[in-house]
Homo-oligomer: A and B are copies of this chain.
């Protein structure tokens, strides 16, 4: 059993912790918290050891009656790898500390590729992370693009991808972000960073992206236009997506015509926190005109990268060298259907 630390037990960190804890070949050695909030309290209830990520805050945790095991410095000895789930930009600074402490580290999509050196997606470049010390799991949007573009590339070859990403303005628990009643080009420049980000794991892919923010909290939505190299049929695409792990086809005609209904479905599936680890592709949206494939998909921004973090651990610690086996193992342990 490999021992995993989680640095930053927030939106992503708590989910990765649960996914790691659910595996049969790794365990959580401890999680770090800066603030003794409700998530810290819940971590204790779930049996995770808490280490303070900032010094001199014992009294805050004492006041909140949340027991801590020590500071983050005492956690490094106990782990084989740290999954850094701190806010974007903090991870790159933490990397220097991990290097000094001689501990491997996984970072999230909020960090810059160049600062970590290697990016990761289970389906695109698993092998490149084998034995690596520092790896960045690409963002939720990029992960969503890779999940469906990879199998399409294998099926028919990709000449050019155009994608318009309609992003949720804030996560459900974020009350200080907007927009409330507006559509915000973000960035207002074209292309957005998502295309280059996909290229950090799908090397050489010809892709241009545009992105906007809208006033919703539930999921991102992507509109894809994929020029194919060879002749494929919609049936081929359906068959491909049906057998692709972590991708599900949903039918608007069966009541799954929006991101809200898809989230309702995830709750009905009994998923922890109502998460949907899979990318949901609207079956009705699939169309091919002049060798160009069109489709729409929904991305649960809080959870789709979670299984990728688990696979990255296996690759970096060389617990598994076959991506398909790691993906299958991760999926089975966290109950992924797609």
Contact = CB atoms under 8 A, between A and B. Distances in A.
Contacts of A66: none
A-B interface, 9 closest residue pairs, ranked by CB to CB distance from nearest: A182-B260, A188-B252, A164-B164, A190-B294, A214-B214, A184-B258, A183-B221, A188-B284, A182-B258
B258 A191 contact: no
A286 B164 CA distance: 15
A215 interface: yes
Given A181-B216, A184-B259, A214-B214, 9 more contacts: A164-B164, A182-B216, A182-B218, A182-B259, A185-B296, A188-B284, A188-B285, A189-B285, A190-B287
B260 A189 contact: no
A210 B191 CA distance: 19
A175 interface: no
A24 to B, nearest CB: 36
Given A185-B258, A216-B215, A221-B185, A191 B289 contact: yes
B259 A189 contact: no
A89 to B, nearest CB: 22
Contact of A188 (B184, B191, B296): B296
A257 B212 CA distance: 11
A204 to B, nearest CB: 15
Contact of A218 (B181, B221, B287): B181
A35 interface: no
Most-contacted residue by chain B among A185, A208, A221, A295 (CB, 10 A)? A185
A254 to B, nearest CB: 11
A221 B181 CA distance: 13
Interface in A244-263: 252, 257-261
Contact of A294 (B191, B219, B257, B258): B191
A228 to B, nearest CB: 15
Contacts of A183: 166, 168, 214, 216, 218-219, 221, 258-259, 298
Contact of A223 (B210, B261, B294, B298): B210
B258 A189 contact: no
Contacts of A182: 216, 218, 258-261
A131 to B, nearest CB: 37
A147 to B, nearest CB: 18
Interface in A135-188: 162, 164, 166, 168, 179, 181-185, 187-188
Interface in A196-228: 208, 210, 212, 214-219, 221, 223, 225
A173 to B, nearest CB: 13
Contacts of A289: 191, 208
